[in-house]
Structure 1
Amino acid sequence: MKRIVSTTLLAAGALLAGLVLPTSTAGAVEPPPRVDLRVLVVTDGGPATQAIAAELQTAGTPYTEIDLNRADRPVIDAAYLADSVGGRARAKFQAVVLPNDNPFPANSSEMAALVAYEQAYDIPQVDAYTYARPEAGLQYPVYGGYSGSLDGVQAQVTTAGRNGPFGYLAGAVPFEDNSPTVGESYAYLSTPVAGADFTPYVEATIPGTTKKGSLVGEYQHDGRRELVVTFVYNRYQQQFRLLARGIVEWMTDGVHLGSSRNYFAVHIDDVLAADDRWNSTLNCTPGDVDCTDPNAVPDPIRMTPADVDAAVTWQNNRGFTLDLAYNAAGSVDHREDNNGADPLADRLVNQRNQFRWINHTYTHAFLGCEQDTSVVPWRCATLPNGSVKWVSRAAVSDEIALNRVWGQTAGLPLENGELVTGEHSGLRVLPQQPTDNPNLGLALGDNAITWLASDNSRDPGQRQVGSATTVPRYPMNIFYNAGRAAEQVDEYNWIYTSRAQGGSGICEDNPATTTCLPAPLDPATGYANHIVPLERQIALGHVLANDPKPHFIHQSNLAEDRIAYPVLDGVLDSYQALFATSTPVVNLRMKDIGGELKRRTAWQTAVSAGQITAYRIGSAVTVQGPAGLAVPATMPAGTLSGGTAFGEAYAGTRSGWTTLTTTPLTLTLSAPPAPVTTTGAPGPVPAPAPAARVPQGVSARVAPGTDG
């Protein structure tokens, strides 16, 4: 053993000597090197490193990935990690992410190179998921620790974690338990080795004891810093989503490109109109094109003035604003049928400044192909020559313009460039209409529409349609044709149970559907006990994933039983219990969401094309790129840009977008990083970690779609 350690020390020392460092007297403080703002992610294909890479990608933080399973991957050596630029030593990566504390073979020159690099430039290392062992600063679990499932366990951020990289959390870190038959959260709980410089950031109680074991902690040794994570996770699990921000802040010392927020926006479609009600006898919705039973009689659901008052009160209590997508013909028709009276519209107009408003077209007409409803499902009507018969440009334009004029006359605080078409129509819809209505883009340009809603379940990518850029929206599985909880449960049972149980059989025909039921829900309790928790979890997952896309439901869900509120309250209550007040939910309107998504795409394109140069020297951060490009960045509090505070305060840091000019962007940190010193030969390189167990069955869950 002594011979192996000695050999490794010599190899690491040689590698340290091979690294490009500023020249000075040995042991003296070196001039600060240039540290590029890029992360090195070394992956073995496991879910933990993939999760961290996904977090970096979504935030817009540049990273380089090396797949250990690829024979053609680059070799990690001193030259790969560092060089010099303009006579100044350069560290090419500001942080290193490894699958575990040492994923390489014994006596690996690549691990030795990483050790030497981390020591020379004070580069942090994240062990994405590693076994608790002395080489990582922890006791083996067999010595009073634990290895096994943490499903349903509530971990806690320690005082050091709250004062450090996880200060944006309130304290609790609950581990998911979504299935009694699937192990979702395998972990090792252990205490630091005696004498180790190990600081736990997240802990859980070791089963059968009152002791706490570390799940995330910092281990300082041999002139290096490691973030040791001892539980497995994937990118979708709540426990990772809660900790992802802190992992990135720790590894970058709070200085990195990219930014992250927790977004939540809810659009209420069909306001002023009435939504047809689900018929539990016919198992369809009278008034819809696929409900052809001769006994089908529409039964409309429409909000009342009391529902408007309830919405205003709810918003004021929650500090949250709903976006009302309105169809003016609903009010015009109601007045014609009721001697000119429409108390709902009067109350909404009276309270118009309490909400944000979106043009949802005048009549909610279908704006794609003309529908042939003589067959089920419907098909596109055709002209005598066999070509598709499209809704005309004039008809589409009238739907947009008439609704806008009504809203302007009523004094609604509109953004005229925003539009939600009925059922997202005009855009492609499979299988009947595989292309957009060619007249849609023309009509959008006629009306200066710049942001067009799309259904994320059908059209998740942002794209250009005429003058407009799409804004994908998440459909919440609260049905448009349900005003009462019992109706929601009945339709839910019909859709998601088997034919033998009286259901539609959709799940039998499409076994990948994630919301299939083993048995029908109880009509009295199914909504509160099953649907609400599931929809809360799905929506909260989007909120925690730095995903600004809005969610949409319907005005019927604010009427009668007001079934939307338990889900919305569940999301906001859960969020408030998890996050500190420094990290509020960001509630944007549609145009701002569209702008955020569009900036991200432009930024990712520039990063992928290698057009960005960003680095830190001492307390100065420099970013260069194409003029006019918006740059996302996150910096410590006190960072200045041109003498003024950079960005906005969020989650204990300053972050935001800054547009580049022909002059490089320079940010000044409030204090420079700790000076780098040459300490001689590095310490020993630890042996590779034993294989860490990854449980089976960890997968993403996706919400099914509904109509707009």
Structure 2
Amino acid sequence: MSKPRNTKLATTLLAALFLALAGCRSELQNTPDPYGDGYTPVGGAGSQHPLPSASTQPAPLERRTPLDRPELARVVTPRPGSPRLKPLGIPNGAPTRVKLKLLVIAATEDESGLSALKTFLPQIGVPFDTLIATQTDLTAQTLEAEPGLGNYNGVILTTAGLSYYDGSAWASALDASEWSLLRQYEADYRVREVQYFSFPDGAGTGMSWNSVASGTPNTMTLTADGRSVFGYLKVNAQIPLKDTYTYFGTPVGNAKPLLTTPEGTVAATTSWPDGRESLSMTMAHNYYLTHSSVLTYGLVRWVSRGVFLGEKKMYFSAHIDDYFLPNDTWDVNLKRNNLSFRLRPTDLQSTASWQTSFRTRFPTFAGFKFELFYNGLGFTPQAASNCNPAANSIDPLTSKSKCLKSNFYWGNHTYTHLFITNPAGPGPYTTFPPDPNNPGQPEDSFSLSRMNYELGDNIKIAGPTGLNLSANDFDAGTLVTGSHSGIGYYDYEGPEDNVGGPPDIPAAKINEGKSKSNPNLVTAMNTNAIRYLGANTSAPTTAPLCTSSAADCNQNNPSPNAGVWLTGPNLPQNSVLLVPRYPVNIFYNVDTIAREVDEYNHIFASFWAQYGRTTPLTWDEILTLESDAALMRIISGSMNPHYFHQINLRFENGSSLLTAFVDAVGQKYNAMFDLPIQNLKMTRIGDRMRPHGLRRRWCASHLESHDWDGHRDRQQRRPDSPDQPHTWHSVRTGSRRIGNQRSDPDCRHGTLR
């Protein structure tokens, strides 16, 4: 029997309360994009602006004053009973199996904890069903596929009592018989339960309440039992607890504390007389909160007894665009670009030395290397390799690059950094830089020969007569176009519209969609065997900047760690995969802290004014915001690289803007995690994104069930299902060790703790 839908639930007090407590910031998603990825070349060079986006917005430093305490402490009255439920059909003593899927139960659709779980579980790859208990009854058919086969191997309650405000009183979204059925299922099938946010009432959580709720920032540490649940964290990890409400409890009975603060316990496991086991947490969650992202993987491991479909790996890659070319520089007085800067050989030497030091200081980043995306126009073939920055050379940067080439990965960024638009577009537009081989060619012609020159001749720079790069450090099948241009994201005002122009921010580009990619570029990519093309996660997918469908405009991952296939009339299906890249608010035209801070505050002053901030942000505050955002992407398991520009590597007082950023990310990650970082060049990222998306689609289409009896797993395909293009392994032999965790990305594999 379906429960009547309560259309007022979205505005109930509890819903508003959870959003306030967990620090909802939906208003940040609509912050205007000040740059639109505009391109402003100087002296033959060009670059792009990193964009603020939904995933890179600066978060407010000052939160609203929180409520005195959450309403979870109110007395909850049982909901009136539904018709008697059919009991589970397990004969006494009969063996049981459970499908490898989780059940998430929430009282209402708009709970912040539900939003968090809907974000984090797909990142891990864990199959799950969601039951909104105020709308749908919990029945035996929900929990049991057939006698002895349970539908779920773990249950997560968004709140311990599933309480909600029905307009007149606080009530539980499950009635007494549904609670009884759930408890029976958990006991009979040995299925564990996580209470994602709970009030420590002593009776159902294993903790008694010992202080008032607090919204004050705090720090959690692991107990000995906590280290077995969250084994991917360092023994002495300091887990931040901020921008959320927290209760502090005292363990009672046989409860085992997992996470503690100076004020009390905030997570504990409890065993019950009927054999059930539960894990309760006493802090609110949301999808953008660090503690939620850090801890949810451990909850999945615990609730599933370490056997689940999915994986957890951590990735971090940093791309540096426009190598060999100069970038514009921001003028703090004029509030616009003025002059330019090209990397010095001493900067490259300092970067290589810093990179070695970084790997030593942070062992989890042991294999870290920057990936330099170069433009051959700035390369000087005649310059001899020379490791001495003071030596005479026709081009000292080329000489130093030849000397230090093995310290970095390398990638194709087109020969001239051509800004590619769509000849069939509305115009007007210009071709910049001009074609060196055809100086008389009309500016508005993006010929096929020009495209082949941009791609193919730049590949030759990596060859024996150029940098002479090894196959390990360079792959000719990868490409990042200038300003991510040519794939539907266009600025028809032209790339030169802000050179020496007024001190304002250029207009945003228009996203016409991937189907409007430049046809000659598409043909040239096919001719030059390009398999992976860098994309921009901040490309707008909504009006007015998106003029096609949201799906066609999208350059972001369609699902976690899946790439985006480029489509076009001259392109074979599934031949070029877009690899989304994250922009960072360390801008393409800044080389010093003073310029970065000035431009950041010039752009975001009105944004911060919404939150009462009237003074400029400092470099330390900007660095904290940007490194926190990057850390959250790492914790999410995203493979997407972050991208920067060669100007950001200018060394000043022992560091550069970019190395300071990576240092901050490394410090924060290394302080919490034991899992080694996977630092992949773009080719390897694309190689993993390509089958990752195919696997997920195959699983959704063809895999009917996958169950576990406590010893081995079994998978059942739909009758018309073709073979999945990956080898089948058992859970025990199919997983592999990453750090102290076992992981396997195949959708039919389990992960054994």
| Shared fold, TM over 0.5 | yes
Alignment of 1:150-161 (within 5 A): 150-161=215-226
**Partner residue of 2:413?**
360
Distance between the aligned counterparts of 1:650 and 1:632, measured in 2?
A: 20
1:162 and 2:248 correspond: no
Letter in 1 for 2:138: I
- Equivalent residue for 1:321, pick from 369, 391, 399: 369
Deviation, 1:408, is 1.5
| Range with bigger deviation, 597-606 or 38-47 | 597-606
**Partner residue of 2:603?**
495
**Partner residue of 2:740?**
652
Distance between the aligned counterparts of 2:303 and 2:187, measured in 1?
A: 14
Deviation, 1:393, is 2.5
- Equivalent residue for 2:579, pick from 471, 474, 484: 471
Cα separation, partners in 2 of 1:140 and 1:176, compared to 1, 3 Å? closer
- Equivalent residue for 2:98, pick from 35, 49, 53: 35
**Partner residue of 1:401?**
456
Distance between the aligned counterparts of 1:585 and 1:147, measured in 2?
A: 39
- Equivalent residue for 2:591, pick from 483, 493, 497: 483
- Equivalent residue for 2:524, pick from 426, 440, 443: 443
Deviations 1:456-487 (A, max 9, x none): 11132442223311011001111111111111
**Partner residue of 2:535?**
454
Distance between the aligned counterparts of 1:235 and 1:633, measured in 2?
A: 33
Deviation, 1:370, is 6.8
- Equivalent residue for 1:199, pick from 224, 232, 256: 256
Deviation, 1:622, is 2.5
Distance between the aligned counterparts of 2:321 and 2:269, measured in 1?
A: 46
- Equivalent residue for 2:474, pick from 385, 402, 414: 414
Deviation, 1:658, is 4.2
Q: Is the 8 A contact 2:393 2:399 kept in 1?
A: no
- Equivalent residue for 1:351, pick from 404, 429, 436: 404
Alignment of 1:564-583 (within 5 A): 564-580=658-674, 583=675
Alignment of 1:229-268 (within 5 A): 229-268=281-320
Distance between the aligned counterparts of 1:302 and 1:162, measured in 2?
A: 48
Cα separation, partners in 2 of 1:140 and 1:536, compared to 1, 3 Å? same
SS in 2 for 1:453: strand
Deviations 1:586-636 (A, max 9, x none): 21111222233333333333344363421112311123554234599996x
Letter in 1 for 2:149: R
**Partner residue of 2:15?**
none
Distance between the aligned counterparts of 1:569 and 1:349, measured in 2?
A: 26
Deviations 1:144-174 (A, max 9, x none): x123224321111111111334453443343
Alignment of 1:72-83 (within 5 A): 73=136, 75-83=137-145
**Partner residue of 2:75?**
none
Distance between the aligned counterparts of 1:491 and 1:187, measured in 2?
A: 37
Deviations 1:419-445 (A, max 9, x none): 011111112225446232222221110
Deviation, 1:115, is 0.7
Q: Is the 8 A contact 1:98 1:125 kept in 2?
A: yes
Deviation, 1:58, is 1.6
Cα separation, partners in 2 of 1:165 and 1:339, compared to 1, 3 Å? closer
Distance between the aligned counterparts of 1:653 and 1:39, measured in 2?
A: 20
Give the number of aligned pairs: 577
Distance between the aligned counterparts of 1:171 and 1:632, measured in 2?
A: 38
Distance between the aligned counterparts of 1:334 and 1:569, measured in 2?
A: 36
Distance between the aligned counterparts of 1:397 and 1:545, measured in 2?
A: 38
Distance between the aligned counterparts of 1:51 and 1:433, measured in 2?
A: 30
Q: CA RMSD in A?
A: 3.3
**Partner residue of 2:342?**
302
Letter in 1 for 2:87: G
Structure 1 vs Structure 2: percent identity of aligned residues?
Answer: 27
**Partner residue of 2:279?**
227
SS in 1 for 2:103: strand
Q: TM-score, normalised by structure 1?
A: 0.75
Cα separation, partners in 2 of 1:151 and 1:166, compared to 1, 3 Å? farther
Deviations 1:391-428 (A, max 9, x none): 22321221011110011132123111110111111122
Alignment of 1:38-49 (within 5 A): 38-44=101-107, 45=109, 46-49=111-114
Distance between the aligned counterparts of 2:134 and 2:244, measured in 1?
A: 25
Letter in 1 for 2:662: L
Deviation, 1:573, is 0.9
- Equivalent residue for 1:606, pick from 670, 681, 698: 698
Letter in 2 for 1:556: I
Q: Is the 8 A contact 2:383 2:399 kept in 1?
A: no
Distance between the aligned counterparts of 1:487 and 1:217, measured in 2?
A: 51
Letter in 1 for 2:448: R
Deviations 1:374-395 (A, max 9, x none): xxxx95369xxxxx95622321
SS in 1 for 2:141: helix
1:520 and 2:651 correspond: no
Q: Is the 8 A contact 2:310 2:747 kept in 1?
A: no
Distance between the aligned counterparts of 1:306 and 1:149, measured in 2?
A: 50
Distance between the aligned counterparts of 1:218 and 1:234, measured in 2?
A: 24
Distance between the aligned counterparts of 2:462 and 2:729, measured in 1?
A: 38
Distance between the aligned counterparts of 2:380 and 2:480, measured in 1?
A: 19
Alignment of 1:632-647 (within 5 A): 639-640=732-733, 646-647=734-735
Letter in 2 for 1:571: V
Distance between the aligned counterparts of 1:464 and 1:310, measured in 2?
A: 38
SS in 1 for 2:159: coil
**Partner residue of 2:504?**
none
Deviation, 1:567, is 0.9
Distance between the aligned counterparts of 1:624 and 1:399, measured in 2?
A: 50
1:617 and 2:716 correspond: no
Distance between the aligned counterparts of 1:628 and 1:480, measured in 2?
A: 43
Distance between the aligned counterparts of 2:382 and 2:605, measured in 1?
A: 38
**Partner residue of 2:149?**
90
Letter in 1 for 2:375: N
**Partner residue of 2:161?**
102
**Partner residue of 1:687?**
none
